Chains A and B, each alone.
Chain A
Amino acid sequence: MAPPDDARSVVTANQTTSRPGQSGYHSPFQPVANSLNRVTETPFFFAREDARLFGILHLPAGTAKPLAFVMSHPFGEEKLWSHRVFVSCARALAAHGHAVLRFDYFGAGDSSGLSADASLESHREDLRAAIGALEQRAPAIEQIGLIGLRMGATFAALLAESNVSPRLAGAPLVLWDPILDGDAYFQELLRSNLSTQLAVYGKVVDNREVLTARIRAGGSVNVDGYEIGKGLLDSCGVSTLLTTDAKRHAGPALIVQIAATEAQKERAELKALAASYGQGTLARAAEQPFWREIKPFYPRASQLQELTLRWLDEVTGAPAVAPLETAASGG
């Protein structure tokens, strides 16, 4: 099919599709009003060069606040495990008056492409395209904040350092458990491949050195169904992926250390990261690692969500909110 473009994926009152009007098979789609909090949710595809990216726009009832958000999901299977936490948070933000765009990176979710062809650059361009899609669909907004988890937080932090949109400058930046050391992160991912090898072959056939060499040579290695290629490893698998050098981002930044218990010690590198922002704050949230398989069902990270919303209210000068409806953190 021809690559979709923004003109083809404009949301209309009745339909959203990458190629509207081509046939009679499209949904009689209506933006959906979430009955619980009167949030309108609109799924659509948008273009980034020849890639087709999937997004969902959450809009509050009535006039949206001038501050909107783009949410940046983590890499690989972490995205699927944390998906419902993102949905819950987006709905809470929208119920709070903010427009929110969630989207799938190239090679993830419903977007086109393969993870093997992704790189830091492709993620950066995807995030830029998502910001553009939000600006197009909610033109009245004045600022766009970024909220990311794990590697998605890192991508958000890196993009915030560039002047891709005047709406990003001075806007809040929320980093949930960001990845600073990309090398250590990818070594951890490769460990998952070793676990699969152990389970299937009863032994490790290819160790991490072999796997890394394979990728560096232009091949790919599978981690939980996602192929990691040279472009991604070379660009993101570095120990200095997100440094603690002084940042250019002028807006407030919230770095959240997520740990299973509140008693966990403050992580020095996250403290240093927070200090690298002119208006950085480090906070801790007691949550299970909901981005991987755990025994509890985790549709909402209540404490993380609540502290994020409260911090946003503080930095935007919004009136304090009543405690959000919460489920137990573990469930």
Chain B
Amino acid sequence: MQQPGDVSAVTFTSSEGNTLFGTLHLPAQVREDLPVIVLLSPGVKMRVGPGRLYVPLTDSLVEMGYRVFRFDFYGLGDSSGELQETMLADVYNNIEVGRYVADSRSAIQWLRQNTGAKKFILGGLCGGAITALLTAEREPDVEGLLSLGMTVTLASNAATPAKYLTRQQLDSRRQGYYRRLLQPMSWWRLLTFQSEYGVIWRSMKRLIIKEKPIAQAAPVAATAEQRGNANPLFPPAFFAFLKRGGRALMLFSEKDRLQSEYEEKFAAPFAEQLQPYLPQLQQHIVAEANHVLSFTPWQKEMVAVSRGWLQSLHGAK
């Protein structure tokens, strides 16, 4: 299969002295007026993203005339450096508080010097999305966020997940328990102390205390306890970006906790502050999709929505 445009394998040195590996994808006809799109790696997966999610996205954006850059953060993928964490959740947590902002800024600087780019759109899935936002907060030349599954919480707190589950998540868990009522394995897990009792209790408690399940269309703010794992860096960064005129595509997967977390832990509690900026935001939920948009129709929808959003920004086709 031919991929559109041209691709170069590149390396550059970050401000912290690490050698970062990446690929620069160029369209057949470069449009200098368009920003360069930088896709930031999610979690510990390398620059192609889980299930190579970034590959079809890159190809499609290059086809529209955009230059696209993907690279590996230090300690991950092909890049130099070593991470010291022993648990994945701790790696994720450190990404969520901005570990890779310096690398992302180095990439922007490298692109300025080597492509002449003046404006940028930063994109990414999950950890890539929050890194994009935290970088945009510091880089005024970032005009847009192509956010796929923005995370507004911190992963390390997942050691006590029951406390932080949103209403939507609790409802979903309860439905799952109902479905497994007749499965011997489920009862075996329950009776051998392998089940998540805290989650079971909280999901059932909502029925006992007659709390109505929330309507999908009208998310309610999470309780203070449920918001206990919220990332304190997210709201100020997001509002700073919006205040200076930044535009964002906020794409979520329907069957991903990140969507309900964004609604209940950010959009609802900050609804009043968010209101003036709604015209700068385009939100889209890919129906039934999972966190990494693994099935091809979900990927295609993500790509189509991303293209449409960019078209609305720049008229590129």
Contacts from A to B (Cβ < 8 Å): 1, 3, 16-19, 22-23, 25-30, 32, 34-36, 41, 43-45, 50, 52, 54, 56, 77, 80, 83-84, 87, 108-110, 112-114, 117, 196, 199-203, 222, 224-227, 293-297, 299, 328, 330-331
Give A296 to B92 CA distance when docked, in angstroms: 12
Min CB distance, B37 to chain A, in Å?
14
B51–A77 CB distance below 8 A: yes
* Among A27, A43, A201, residue most surrounded by chain B Cβ atoms (within 10 Å): A27
CB distance from B44 to the nearest CB of A (A): 7
A sample of 13 inter-chain contacts (CB < 8 A) reads A1-B2, A27-B10, A32-B19, A41-B19, A43-B21, A54-B9, A83-B46, A202-B179, A222-B296, A225-B293, A294-B88, A296-B86, A331-B85
Instruction: In the A-B complex, list the 8 residue pairs whose CB atoms are closest, starting with the nearest.
Output: A225-B51, A27-B10, A331-B86, A43-B9, A17-B8, A225-B294, A32-B19, A26-B8
Indicate the member of B50, B52, B80, B294 with the most A CB atoms within 10 Å: B52
What are the residues of chain B within 8 A of A45 when measuring CB–CB?
7, 9
The residue on A at minimum CB distance from B20 is: A32
Residues B11 and A27 in contact, CB atoms below 8 Å apart: yes
Q: Mask for B1-35, Cβ within 8 A of A = 1, else 0?
A: 11111111111100000010101101010100000
Say yes or no: A200-B4 contact (C-beta < 8 A), given A25-B30, A224-B51.
no
Q: Considering only CB atoms, which chain B residue lies closest to A28 in the complex?
A: B114
Measured CB to CB, the closest approach of chain A to B89, in angstroms, equals 7
A44, A50, A54: the one contacting B2 at CB < 8 Å is A50
CA A3 to CA B1, docked complex, whole Å: 10
- Check: B276 CB closer than 8 A to any chain A CB: no
Q: Report yes or no: B115 in contact with A25, Cβ–Cβ below 8 A.
A: yes
Residues on A with C-beta less than 8 A from B108 are none
Whether the pair A25, B295 counts as a contact (CB closer than 8 A) is: no
Interface size, chain B (Cβ < 8 Å): 58
Asked if B80 and A80 sit within 8 Å, CB to CB, the answer is no
The A/B interface has a contact count, at CB < 8 Å, of 156
Having A32-B19, A41-B21, one finds 13 other A-B pairs with CB under 8 Å, namely A1-B2, A23-B30, A28-B114, A29-B10, A44-B9, A52-B3, A83-B77, A84-B76, A87-B77, A108-B52, A199-B290, A224-B51, A296-B88
**Chain A nearest CB: distance from B176 CB in Å?**
7
Instruction: Across the interface, name the chain A residue whose C-beta is closest to B80.
Output: A34
Of chain B, the residue at the smallest CB distance from A223 is B294
* B53 & A110 in contact (Cβ 8 Å cutoff): no
Chain A contacts for B289, CB-based, 8 A: 200
Contact in complex: B48, A109 (CB < 8 Å) = yes
Query: B82 an interface residue at 8 Å Cβ cutoff?
Result: yes
Contact check, B290 vs A200: say whether CB atoms are below 8 A apart. yes
CB–CB A32/B290 < 8 A: no
Query: Nearest chain A CB to B147's CB is how many angstroms away?
Result: 19
Q: Is B75 an interface residue (CB 8 A)?
A: yes
Pick from A17, A80, A108, A114: contact of B9, CB under 8 Å: A17
- The answer, yes or no, to whether B45 is at the interface (CB within 8 Å) is yes
B9 touches A112 (CB 8 A): no
Please determine whether B7 and A56 come into contact, CB atoms closer than 8 angstroms: no
Q: Given A77-B50, A80-B45, A299-B75, does the pair A110, B6 have CB atoms closer than 8 Å?
A: no
Task: Kindly state whether residue B175 has any CB partner on chain A within 8 Å.
Answer: yes
Q: Mark B258-290, 1 if CB is under 8 A from A, else 0.
A: 000000000000000000000000000000111
**B87 within 8 A of partner (CB):** yes
Given A84-B76, A225-B51, are A295 and B290 neighbors across the interface (CB < 8 Å)? no
Taking CB as reference atom, which chain A residue is nearest B27? A1
B87 CB contact (under 8 Å) in A36, A203, A296:
A296
Whole-angstrom CA separation of A222 from B296 in the bound complex: 7
**Least Cβ–Cβ distance between B124 and chain A, in angstroms:** 15
Shortest CB-to-CB span from B21 to chain A, Å, is 6
- Min Cβ gap B149→A in Å is 14
> Which residue of B23, B50, B175 is within 8 Å of A224 (Cβ)?
B50
